[in-house]
Structure 1
Amino acid sequence: MAQLRKLILVGTAMISLLASAPLAAAKPLEVVASFTVLADVVHEIGGTHVNVRSLVGPNGDPHEFEPSPDDAKALKEADVVFVSGEGLEGWMDRLITASGYTGKPAVASEGIKTREMEEDGKTVTDPHVWNSPVNVMLWVKNIEKALSAADPQDAPHFHANAEKYIAELKKLDAYAHAKLDAVPDDKRKVLTSHDAFGYFGREYKVKFLSPVGLSTETEASAADVAKLIDQIKAEGVKVYFIENSNDPKLVNQIATATGAKPGGELYVESLSTKDGPASSYLKMFRYNVDRVVTAFGK
C-alpha cells in the first residue's frame, strides 16, 4: 500500500510539472521577401520567429532580377511572401506561376501615399517608397499584420518588435531632418543614376536629377541626356552619385560634361554585404544622409 501511495504521489507531481511547463514554441515561419531592404525590415519585426530569405541578393537590382529554380523552390515552401509592390517586382507573377505557390503575397507598401509621374507619355507610380523612413513605418504595420495572421501565437512578439522598430525609424527621420534642413535650399541638388530618390526628395526637400527613369530597365535617349546636361548646368548642380546596384557609366559621362564632382556611392535599392556600410536598412538610410550632406558641404 505504501508503495502504491508513493507511485501515485510521483505521478501527480509529474502531471503538475507538465501542466506548468510552457507550451512548445511554434516552428519559425519560413518567409520570402523580394529584396534585401524589405527582408531586413521583415527580420526586425519577426525576430526569432521567422527565417527570412531575400530573393534579390545584396547589391542586386530588383528591377532586372532573373529568378532561379532555387528561388521558385523557396517561394513554394514559404509560409509568407512579402513584396514591396507598386510595380517594383515585375517578375514576381511569373515566379509565382513557375513555382506553384498558391498563396497571395503580402504587399508591404499598401496604404503609402505614392508619387505619380509621367514617363514616355504614361502615368507611372514610383515604387521606391523605402527611401523615406516615414513610409517604412507603414511597411512595419503591414508586415506585423501579415506575420500575426500567419502565426497568431506570436502576435504579441511581432507587435513589440514593431513598436520598437518604429521608434528607431522616428529617430532616423529626425536625424535626416536635422542634417538636411540645415543645408541652404539652393544647394540641395544632386545627380544620380536613375530616379529612385523621389520619396527622399519629397520628405527632405532635396532635388534629384537623373538620366534614367524609375526603372533601370529603361534607357535614356540622346535627346534626354542633352536636355539633362543643359538643366544641370542651368541649375548649378555641383555633385553626383553612383548607385551600388546599377551601372555608373552614363552618370559618369554626364558628370564629365557638366563639371559635377563625385560624391561617392549611395545605396538605393539594395543593402550592402554584411561587412559593408549599409548592411541594414537603418544603416543604409543614415549612410545615404551622411554622404549627401557631406557632398553638399563641399
Structure 2
Amino acid sequence: MSALLKLAAAVSVIALSPTAVATASAQELSVIASFSIIADLAKNVGGDRVKITTLVGPGGDAHVYEPKPADAVAVAGADVVLVNGLEFEGFLERLVEASGTTAPIVELTSGSEILSSAEEEHHEGGEEGHQEGAEEEHADEEDEDHGAFDPHAWQSVRNAEVYVDNIAVAFCSADAAGCDTYKANAEAYGEQLIALDAEIRAAVAQIPEERRTIITSHDAFGYFEHEYGVDFVAPEGVSTESEASAADIAALIEQVRADKASAIFVESITNSRLIEQIASETGLTVGGELYSDALSSEGGPAVTYIDMMRHNITTIKAAILRS
C-alpha cells in the first residue's frame, strides 16, 4: 500500500477536525492548483480572496511527479481543485482517492481547442471532444501510453483565456460573494492575454516562413505551433516519461543536416544531454532554454505565465535571426 493510501484515513480525520475548520479564514477560498502555470492563472483571477497551494511548483515536472502525504492533506481541505486534465497529471486520480476530498475537480481544458497527441487533427468543445476521441482507435504506442490528446493546451494563449474563464466560473460557484471580483479580475487579465497573443503573432511575423522550424526536447509546443505557425520538432513525445529511440534521433539529425531546422533549444524541465548531442552532431548552437510545463523560480525569466510566453518567443526569434 502506498504512503498516500496509508494516510487516507488520517487525512479524512484532519479534514473534518473542528480545529482545522476553525483556523481557516472565512473570507479566503482554499484552492489547489496542480502545477505552477495554473497557480499563476488562478492568482490573477482570485487575487486576495484565494489561498493557492501548488502541488508541482516552479521547475517541477508534472509528468513524473510523485505526490507526498502533505499533498493529500492539502487536497482534502480544499474548496476547489484546479487541474489541466487530458491525462497531464498522471498522479491525480490516486491523489484524489487518497485525500477523500469532496471539492470539485475542475478541468481547465474544458471548452478549449484540443489537439490530438499525434497532431494530426484537433477537436473543439472540451468534454465532447474528449469523449469522441476516447472512442477512436490509436495504433501509435505513445498515444496509448500518454493519452489520445496533447495536454499542453496552455501553449496557445487563446486556450489560456479559456482556462481563465473556467477558473472564474469555479471560483464564483464556490464563493458567490466574491463573484463580481473574480469576473472583474478575469476580464482585466484577459485583456493582458489578448495583448500577449498579438505580441507573439507580431514576433513570429518577423521570422521568415522558411526558417520557422526548430528543435526542442519533448513535444510540448504543439499548440504554439498550431496557433502561431512555428514548426517544433522533438525527439521525445508529449510526456517527458517517453524516450527517443536511436532511429528517432538519427532521423532528426538527418532533418537538421538537410537545413530544415533553424535552431535548437533545451527545456527547463528536461535533461539537456540529448539536445546537446544533437546540436554537437549537426553543428547547431543551442539557442537558449524554453519553458514548457512549468514556470521558473523567483528571479528567473518565467515567473508568470505571461513572462513565460514572452520569454519563449523572444528566445526563439533571437536564436533564429542570429543563426
SS in 1 for 2:258: helix
SS in 1 for 2:117: strand
Larger radius of gyration: 1
Query: 2 CA distance for matches of 1:93 and 1:239?
Result: 38
CA positional deviation for 1:102? 2.6
For 1:281, which of 289, 295, 305 is the aligned residue?
305
Farther-moved stretch of structure 1 (148-157 vs 94-103):
94-103
Counterpart for residue 88 of structure 1: 88
Task: Tell me: CA distance 1:121–1:279, structure 2 relative to 1, closer, same or farther (3 Å).
Answer: closer
CA positional deviation for 1:26? 4.8
- Residue 136 (str. 1) matches residue 160 (str. 2): yes
Query: 2 CA distance for matches of 1:106 and 1:235?
Result: 44
Query: 2 CA distance for matches of 1:53 and 1:297?
Result: 40
Counterpart for residue 125 of structure 1: 149
Counterpart for residue 213 of structure 1: 237
Query: 2 CA distance for matches of 1:172 and 1:231?
Result: 32
CA positional deviation for 1:122? 3.9
Counterpart for residue 53 of structure 1: 53
8 Å contact from structure 2 (residues 267, 290) kept in 1: yes
Counterpart for residue 152 of structure 1: 176
8 Å contact from structure 1 (residues 181, 204) kept in 2: no
CA RMSD of aligned residues (A): 1.4
Q: What is the TM-score when the length of structure 1 is the normalising length?
A: 0.89
- Counterpart amino acid of residue 141 in structure 2: D
Residue by residue over 1:30-75, the C-alpha shift from the partner in whole angstroms, topping out at 9 and shown as x without a partner, is: 1000000000000100001000111001111110111111111111
CA positional deviation for 1:224? 1.4
- Structure 1 unmatched ranges of 5 or more: 1-24
Counterpart for residue 15 of structure 1: none
- Residue 62 (str. 1) matches residue 72 (str. 2): no
Runs of 4+ in 1 over 4 A off after TM superposition: none
- Counterpart amino acid of residue 117 in structure 2: M
Task: Tell me: CA distance 1:147–1:292, structure 2 relative to 1, closer, same or farther (3 Å).
Answer: same
Aligned pairs, how many?
274
Counterpart for residue 272 of structure 1: 296
Query: 2 CA distance for matches of 1:181 and 1:229?
Result: 27
- Counterpart amino acid of residue 73 in structure 1: V
8 Å contact from structure 2 (residues 79, 104) kept in 1: no
- Counterpart amino acid of residue 142 in structure 1: N
SS in 2 for 1:114: strand
Task: Tell me: CA distance 1:78–1:292, structure 2 relative to 1, closer, same or farther (3 Å).
Answer: same
Query: 1 CA distance for matches of 2:170 and 2:95?
Result: 21
CA positional deviation for 1:253? 0.9
Task: Tell me: CA distance 1:122–1:244, structure 2 relative to 1, closer, same or farther (3 Å).
Answer: closer
Counterpart for residue 225 of structure 1: 249
